Amino acid sequence: MRYDAGEVITAMVTPFNEKREVDYEKVEALASYLVNNGSDAVLVTGTTGESPTLTHDEELEILSSAKRAVSGKGKVIMGTGSNSTETAVMMAKKAEKEGADAILTVVPYYNKPSQSGMIEHFSAVAEATELPIILYNIPSRTGVNMAVDTVKTLAKKYQNIVALKQSYGDMDTFTELRMALPADFAIYSGDDSLTLPMLSLGAHGVISVASHVFGVEIKSMIRNFKTGDVATAKNMHQKLYPIFKKLFMAPNPVPVKAALEYKGLINDFVRRPLVELTKSEKAELFFTLDSI
């Protein structure tokens, strides 16, 4: 494998205080908790980390805080994507300077580039850093899908483009990706509920939201599948399936922050335009958590 960031990467939330300022102590505490509870790596300043509302200075301090917390226990990946190629390049360089183990960079959102535009965008990022790069395809947020041939072209051209987070639930497309890409190129499920199906088609693991609260269970599901105990993996998938879905009952990361508050790990504050769950929504979520 070109680069192994692990099988369970948690797309980590960004804890805020009541003023909705970044709570860096809670960043450290949460990152430490995650790598001690099933996560091989944490991904900071991604969409689940509310990156659209963070400043670049906040993002870099979050990276530094997480690095201090997990030193020697797991990897820290930084979300550095942007719909501006210049900004994506700048943040990739800063992530490398500040000691990130790898970066995740998303298909440019809102401006909906062509496939050739995506190739130019990711090429610029790959040529700007020596860090391992995980591409991120999530058409529901970006408005455009990265084609199989685009990923294949980039993987062939750049050895530091090492993996793909695929948040697109079409299994035929996933099969085509696995067949088109080198065996040492890792593909991660970007959706918790699709982890097991994608493992059966050759995924390496998951970049997860639910691993905030069920990291050990998700790790065991993947391990059981890969060691041939498919029945036990299937049973765990079915056990966790209700929470996989309930954690997206409202825009991510609102529900998972509420779940983490319920567990006493962080406050559930989110930055606007997101809003916290209502009391009735929390009751519904907590009932599901308690039933697993």
For residue range 125-141, what is the model confidence (pLDDT) as tens digits? 999 999 999 999 999 99
Across all residues in the chain, what is the average pLDDT? 98
Q: Give the pLDDT confidence of 18-62 residue by residue, as tens digits.
A: 999 999 999 999 999 999 999 999 999 999 999 999 999 999 999
pTM over 0.95: yes
Instruction: Domains for the chain: give ranges and CATH numbers.
Output: 8-229 (3.20.20.70)
The arithmetic mean of pLDDT across residues 159-184, rounded, is 97
The β-bridge partners of 76 are 42
The strand pairing partners of 106, in sequence order, are 136
Query: Could you give the CA distance from residue 263 to residue 210 in angstroms, rounded to a whole number?
Result: 13
Which residues are known to be catalytic?
136, 165
